Amino acid sequence: MPQATILIVDDNPENLMVLGEVLSDHYRVGAAQSGSRALQLAQLEPLPDLILLDVMMPQMSGYEVLERLRSERRTRDIPVIFVTAMNSEGDEQRGLAMGAVDYITKPLRQAIMLARVHTHLELRRARVRLQSDNALLELEVAKRLTETMVAQDVTIRVLARLAETRDKETGNHILRTQRYVETLARCVRLHPRFAHELDDHSISLMAKSAPLHDIGKVGIPDHVLLKPGPLDADEWAVMKTHAALGADAIERAEADAGTPQAVKFLTFAKQVTRHHHERWNGSGYPSGLAGEAIPLAARLMAVADVFDAMISRRVYKPAIPMPEARTAMAAQRGRHFDPDLLDAFLGDYETYCDIARALPDGGMAGRVPGTG
């Protein structure tokens, strides 16, 4: 272990000599005869591990020196022991209140001084070790958190991609709709109706849950999901069950995990999967919710999902050009969509078109949605 460095500060040369002789057998010792010189030496490497500081000095008192040391980032944590002839209880209280770790009165008793110096050096070493351990722990926690978040994101994408393997024409639908949801949420986050629900964390979780909106389609038979044409009434009734199937699957998985309290991400995931086909006027499914009874995450998802479905080719329909999709969506204001969300979406419509163009089905070389 390297030898500790102690800085002695006293305007009396004899005191410096006496303290230096006592301490130099055990430590590296530096000396300053003034407060200004002490402040200079305290900044030099190696920084002092401990400062013994006289109180009564000309031009700059020990109290002033301590105040300056505490105001500087490099020196604020160096322990300071006041060494002084001022021995009243008030003087000692003032020194300790200012941040000194100890207060030794003159005349000095060598054994006591060495014991206190040793104690405070050990305390400093312990604090340094603890800070180092905490820093390593924080790095490890950050690493584990990053790994967990990546694993969570990948798992979500895997589930969504598995659902999409049933319908090979959906391509980058989950990536596009996720981007739409996040962009729209950030656009309306300051709107009086939505501000209380759309902090950064909630927006991030809503966007993260968006890819799960159609996972219930894994439970829809091929003859319904892949039918190349309009569904009859019975087939449509089966198709509509995908919303509840997805939400129920998340609820069962949540119960299997035995989570002791609600997890916000899973709450959004259940809202998105179950209610993204609800309509503002109450004509949607599976619950027939209307207006603000529909969770905000699901209302955001509804705008994103319908827009992307319109501009993309499906087994049962061709893609609609983007200008026509805009007109069709505008006609559903207050019917299918939350009016304020739709206004924000249409007010920045080209941004969502740009997202669609950047993430075409089949990769960048594939067909761009909505362009025919």
Q: 219 and 82 in one domain?
A: no
The domain spanning residue 189 has which CATH number?
A: 1.10.3210.10
User: Does residue 46 belong to any structural domain of this protein?
Assistant: yes
Across the range 62-88, mean pLDDT stands at 89
- Strand 5-9 vs strand 28-32: parallel, antiparallel, or unpaired? parallel
User: Does residue 297 belong to any structural domain of this protein?
Assistant: yes
Q: 34 and 95 in one domain?
A: yes
User: What is the total count of domains within the chain?
Assistant: 2
Q: 130 and 169 in one domain?
A: no
User: Does residue 32 belong to any structural domain of this protein?
Assistant: yes
The domain spanning residue 119 has which CATH number?
A: 3.40.50.2300
Q: 103 and 26 in one domain?
A: yes
Task: Taking each helix axis as running N to C, give the angle between helix 349-358 and helix 322-330, from 0 to 180 degrees, rounded to the nearest 10.
Answer: 140
- Long-range pairs for 152-158 at CB < 8 Å and ≥24 separation? 152/208, 153/208, 156/208, 156/209, 156/211, 156/212, 157/211
pLDDT of residue 366: 35
Q: Which domain holds residue 288?
A: 165-358
Compute the distance between CA of residue 43 and CA of residue 40 in angstroms, rounded to an integer: 6
Give the model confidence (pLDDT) of 68-79 as tens digits.
Answer: 999 999 999 999
pLDDT at 365 over 60: no
Compute the distance between CA of residue 238 and CA of residue 225 in angstroms, rounded to an integer: 9
HSE-up (13 A, CA, CB side) for residue 100: 25
Task: Give every CB contact of residue 337 below 8 A, 6+ residues apart in sequence.
Answer: 279, 280, 299, 302, 303, 306, 329, 345
Give the model confidence (pLDDT) of 189-217 as tens digits.
Answer: 999 999 999 999 999 999 999 989 998 88
pLDDT of residue 367: 42
What stretches of the chain adopt beta strand conformation (E)?
Answer: 5-9, 28-32, 50-53, 80-84, 102-105
pLDDT of residue 142: 79
Compute the distance between CA of residue 179 and CA of residue 354 in angstroms, rounded to an integer: 11
Residue 164: pLDDT band with limits 50, 70, 90 = low
- Strand 80-84 vs strand 50-53: parallel, antiparallel, or unpaired? parallel
Tokens of 194: 């939505």
- The answer to whether the pTM exceeds 0.75 is no
Compute the distance between CA of residue 290 and CA of residue 300 in angstroms, rounded to an integer: 14
- Long-range pairs for 58-62 at CB < 8 Å and ≥24 separation? 58/11, 58/34, 59/34, 59/35, 60/34, 60/35, 60/36, 61/35, 62/9, 62/35, 62/95
Tokens of 16: 């410096």
Give the model confidence (pLDDT) of 1-24 as tens digits.
Answer: 678 999 999 999 988 988 888 898
User: Does residue 327 belong to any structural domain of this protein?
Assistant: yes
Tabulate helix, strand, coil % of the chain (nearest 5): 60, 5, 35
Task: Taking each helix axis as running N to C, give the angle between helix 200-209 and helix 173-188, from 0 to 180 degrees, rounded to the nearest 10.
Answer: 160
Whether residue 143 contacts residue 315, with contact meaning beta carbons closer than 8 Å, is answered with no
- 79 φ, ψ to 5°? -70, 140
Compute the distance between CA of residue 297 and CA of residue 136 in angstroms, rounded to an integer: 38
Q: 186 and 50 in one domain?
A: no
Give the model confidence (pLDDT) of 299-358 as tens digits.
Answer: 999 999 999 999 998 877 889 999 999 999 999 999 999 999 999 999 999 999 999 999
Whether residue 356 contacts residue 369, with contact meaning beta carbons closer than 8 Å, is answered with yes
Last-in-domain residue among 135, 155, 174: 135
Q: 130 and 255 in one domain?
A: no
Q: 316 and 189 in one domain?
A: yes
Q: 108 and 63 in one domain?
A: yes
User: Does residue 217 belong to any structural domain of this protein?
Assistant: yes
